[in-house]
Amino acid sequence: MPMEKVYKFLIAGLVVGLLVAAIGTYAVTTAMQQPESDCGDCHEGHGSVVAPDVNVNGTIMLTGDTHADEFVPVADIFKLKQREVKTLVAQDGEGIPSTGTPVMDFLKAHSVTEFDYLVMYADDFVLILNRSEITEDTVFVPMEYSVRVLSSNMPIAAWLKNIKTIVVVGDGGDSVKLNDKKITFGQMLDNGVETMPVSKKTIGYTYQDTNYQYETGYVVTGISLKSLLLKEGYTDFTTVTIDGEEISRDQVLKGTHFLTRDGGKIKLASQIKNRQNWPDVETIVVA
């Protein structure tokens, strides 16, 4: 065969190979460029935190005497203007430089301007910061998947790390009247945040001819009626009346009546009622 024909065959084969490779590359690239599902595709209506590009653990709950409960992505905290501060100056006269988001700027970004103190909860520690103790140098700095709070006027032992929940406590938040005392939602949660599963249901699934049953439910945060009464010193009572509905002592002590916040109002959550049927709570009378 003449060399000219050989070269033509080689060139033709090369062209075909390049075309096949190009088509394959286009197909793979197109598939890779298809929009990915985010959390919202599956978790809409589940009460979950929809935060694309943020670790699901990387959120902090802001609650108490705020306009509404919020799950704040840690990344959003550090989108605010940063401030350089020096800590531990009292130890060596020079201090250690740090850069973080001022706590007051964070609160203002979430419409919190008036409060008495903050209660910050971590996995195994709690920190109470009075308003008078928070200065412009009190900042949040990144810490693993959460944040740490520090300040030029704080000892290192008080630098709470891996904060999970911040409770704002003041006098202007959502409140109830317990006998003659006004109690805000923040004041309810200043000694701990409780949870209760609600709307439980069983989900069945069949796999390889075997039936599986899974118990599921939503979780709400707040405080049980039992805990609130004990917190306020009510140990010897017979009945509790909430906006005209009487609850016996035995029912209260079971811990199944739970105060939470939903839609900007304090509600009496129930394991046997749907969320839309939870009554608002304005007055609690203990007798």
**Statement to judge: residues 189 and 252 lie in one domain:** yes
pLDDT digits 0-9 by tens, 174-217: 999 999 999 999 999 999 999 998 888 899 999 999 999 999 98
Q: How far is Cα 62 from Cα 76, in angstroms, rounded to an integer?
A: 13
The string over 92-122, giving b where at least 16 C-beta atoms fall within 10 Å of a residue's C-beta and e elsewhere, is eeeeeebebbbbbbbbeebebeebbbbbbbb
Residue 196 belongs to domain spanning: 175-286
Q: Examine residue 233 and state whether it is found in any structural domain, yes or no.
A: yes
Provide the pLDDT for residue 98.
Answer: 86
What mean pLDDT, rounded, does the chain reach? 82
Give the three-class secondary structure for 250. Answer: helix
Provide the pLDDT for residue 85.
Answer: 87
**Statement to judge: residues 277 and 198 lie in one domain:** yes
What dihedral angle (degrees, nearest 10) is formed by the CA atoms of 243, 247, 253, 258? -40
Structure-block tokens of residue 180 = 């003659």
- Torsion angles phi and psi, residue 158, rounded to 5: -100, 5
Q: Which domain-ending residue is among 169, 191, 216?
A: 169
**Statement to judge: residues 165 and 215 lie in one domain:** no
**Statement to judge: residues 82 and 118 lie in one domain:** yes
Tell whether the model's pLDDT for residue 8 goes beyond 80. no
Q: How far is Cα 81 from Cα 78, in angstroms, rounded to an integer?
A: 7
Helix (H) or strand (E) holding 240: strand 239-242
Tell whether the model's pLDDT for residue 171 goes beyond 60. yes
More confident residue, 150 or 42: 150
**Statement to judge: residues 158 and 189 lie in one domain:** no
Q: Examine residue 52 and state whether it is found in any structural domain, yes or no.
A: no
Q: How far is Cα 149 from Cα 134, in angstroms, rounded to an integer?
A: 11
Q: Examine residue 155 and state whether it is found in any structural domain, yes or no.
A: yes
Q: Examine residue 43 and state whether it is found in any structural domain, yes or no.
A: no
Q: Which domain-ending residue is among 135, 169, 203?
A: 169
**Statement to judge: residues 140 and 193 lie in one domain:** no
**Statement to judge: residues 185 and 152 lie in one domain:** no
pLDDT digits 0-9 by tens, 69-127: 999 999 999 999 999 988 877 666 667 888 999 999 999 999 999 999 999 999 889 99
Q: Please report which confidence band the pLDDT of residue 244 belongs to, taking 50, 70 and 90 as the band edges.
A: confident
**Statement to judge: residues 187 and 134 lie in one domain:** no
- Helix residue ranges, H only, the chain: 3-32, 39-43, 74-77, 89-92, 103-109, 185-188, 225-231, 249-253
Count the Cβ atoms, other than its own, within 10 Å of residue 272.
9
More confident residue, 123 or 229: 229
How many domains in the chain? 2
**Statement to judge: residues 228 and 264 lie in one domain:** yes
Provide the pLDDT for residue 32.
Answer: 43
Q: Examine residue 94 and state whether it is found in any structural domain, yes or no.
A: yes
Provide the pLDDT for residue 81.
Answer: 94
State the first-to-last Cα distance of the chain, in angstroms, to the nearest integer.
110
More confident residue, 271 or 139: 139
pTM here is 0.76
* CA atoms within 13 Å, Cβ hemisphere of 122: 18
Q: Please report which confidence band the pLDDT of residue 4 belongs to, taking 50, 70 and 90 as the band edges.
A: low
